[in-house]
């Protein structure tokens, strides 16, 4: 019997990143530069905390907003906000879902940079809202004047990842101040995705909430900093009315973040990893220089663990298809953009794998 699906099923598409997970399973020895997942293990102390929590039967529901001990620790880490303005979410993705639910009606507009993280666009479409793209090409800078030009009476919020996926851009303090002032002047909520906060290489991470606390929703988590991608624990901090509404929606969606893993997140919060960012910075330098030497047009990323070169010929879709024939896995730019001119490489892998990938990219520079 054919199933009649809701219209929203056709409004959104399958993630191009998740497709790569499935393709990787079919390959014997791929050069996988597609997946945004750290290649280091969860720290032992964090694993032990999770194991101890399970053994101690910390397996029941927690309060919707999160375990009190974790919330208290997050309050110390985020002094810009009161305790009541912080909640634990099912990772940053869960925080984005709740924020969009709380802020957007059908027909409302939300501004996002192009290129963008895939969820920023698809969640808006899922809710019947309209994503409005702010072009950041060719340098992937913030360009606050472009954001202002995109604002209309229907604009309700803007979303920004810093450092950014897929470009690796990390934004200058002056530009972030200007964007915060723009959001304040137009009374917009600024959703600030800081999941890659740990991976800021060339300058200290800047929290835009320092400039616009009353209108910034800060989203953070442990997926990238502690390799806890599958554990699904994050946090949100922002205006009280917004946080209360997000917590209400969490009651009817995620209920709470996984209880024993909240205990583990508390340990992670007190045990920041040392040396990881420096290691990834060296991989960034290796890949960036290798791409330049091979003749690719590419901007140097300042954070996260991605680089977003321009394809040397054809569309990004065509170029990535050729890469896959050689078992080189990268992601076409149209997964993250309204353009199909660039491709994303993740350098969250070993230098040996990066060298293998660079060798193949040198071969692919000229179309066969």
Range of the structural domain that residue 335 is part of: 8-42+274-364
Q: Does the residue 124 lie in any domain?
A: yes
Residues 324 and 263 in one domain: no
| Predicted local distance difference test score (pLDDT) of residue 24 | 62
Whichever domain contains 251, its CATH number is 3.40.640.10
Residues 146 and 193 in one domain: yes
Average pLDDT taken over every residue of the chain:
94
Residues 194 and 82 in one domain: yes
Q: Does the residue 2 lie in any domain?
A: no
| Predicted local distance difference test score (pLDDT) of residue 18 | 58
Residues 316 and 168 in one domain: no
| Predicted local distance difference test score (pLDDT) of residue 16 | 58
Q: Does the residue 15 lie in any domain?
A: yes
Residues 256 and 338 in one domain: no
Residues 352 and 207 in one domain: no
Residues 105 and 222 in one domain: yes
The answer to whether the predicted template modeling score (pTM) of the entire model surpasses 0.75 is yes
Residue-wise pLDDT tens digits, 247-306: 999 999 999 999 999 999 999 999 888 889 999 999 999 999 999 999 999 999 999 999
User: How many domains does the structure of the chain reveal?
Assistant: 2
Q: Provide DSSP, 275-344.
A: SHHHHHHHHHHHHHHHHHHTT---PPP-BTTEE-PBPSSS-HHHHHHHHHHTTEE-EEGGGTSS--SBEE
Residues 155 and 292 in one domain: no
List per-block mean pLDDT (blocks of 10 residues) for the chain, which spans 368 residues.
Answer: 84 66 70 91 96 96 96 94 96 98 98 98 96 98 97 98 98 96 98 97 94 97 95 97 97 96 96 90 97 97 98 97 94 96 97 96 85
Residues 52 and 111 in one domain: yes
Residue count (the chain): 368
CA 276/CA 351 separation, integer angstroms: 14
Domain C-terminal end among 270, 288, 316: 270
Q: Does the residue 355 lie in any domain?
A: yes
| Predicted local distance difference test score (pLDDT) of residue 5 | 86
Residues 98 and 214 in one domain: yes
């Amino acid at each position: 019997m054919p199933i009649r699906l809701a219209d929203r099923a056709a409004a959104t598409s399958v993630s191009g990143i998740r497709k790569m997970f499935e393709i990787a399973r079919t390959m014997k020895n791929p050069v996988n530069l597609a997946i945004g997942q750290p290649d280091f293990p969860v720290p032992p102390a964090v694993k032990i905390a999770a194991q101890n929590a399970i053994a101690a039967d910390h397996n029941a529901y927690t309060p919707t907003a999160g375990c009190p001990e974790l919330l208290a620790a997050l309050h110390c880490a985020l002094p810009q906000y009161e305790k009541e303005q912080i909640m634990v979410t099912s990772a940053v993705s869960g925080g984005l879902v709740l924020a969009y639910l709380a802020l957007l009606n059908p027909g409302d507009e939300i501004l996002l940079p192009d290129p963008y993280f895939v969820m920023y666009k698809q969640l808006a479409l899922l809710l019947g809202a309209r994503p409005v793209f702010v072009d950041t090409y060719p340098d992937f800078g913030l360009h606050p004047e472009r954001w202002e030009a995109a604002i209309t009476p229907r604009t309700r919020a803007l979303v920004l990842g810093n450092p950014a996926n897929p470009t690796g851009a990390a934004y200058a303090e002056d530009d972030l101040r200007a964007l915060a002032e723009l959001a304040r002047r137009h009374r917009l909520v600024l959703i600030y995705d800081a999941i890659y906060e740990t991976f800021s290489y060339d300058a200290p991470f800047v929290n835009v909430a320092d400039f616009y606390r009353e209108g910034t929703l800060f989203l953070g988590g442990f997926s990238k900093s502690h390799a806890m991608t599958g554990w699904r624990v994050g946090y949100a901090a922002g205006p009280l009315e917004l946080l209360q509404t997000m917590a209400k929606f969490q009651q009817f969606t995620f209920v709470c973040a996984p209880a024993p893993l909240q205990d583990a997140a508390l340990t992670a919060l007190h045990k920041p990893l040392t040396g990881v960012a420096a290691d990834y910075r060296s991989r960034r330098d290796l890949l960036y220089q290798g791409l330049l030497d091979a003749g690719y047009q590419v901007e140097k990323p300042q954070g996260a663990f991605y680089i977003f070169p321009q394809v040397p010929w054809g569309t990004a879709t065509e170029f990535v298809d050729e890469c896959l024939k050689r078992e080189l896995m990268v992601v076409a730019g149209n997964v993250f953009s309204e353009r199909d001119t660039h491709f994303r490489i993740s350098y969250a892998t070993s230098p040996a794998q990066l060298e293998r990938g660079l060798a193949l990219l040198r071969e692919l520079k000229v179309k066969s």
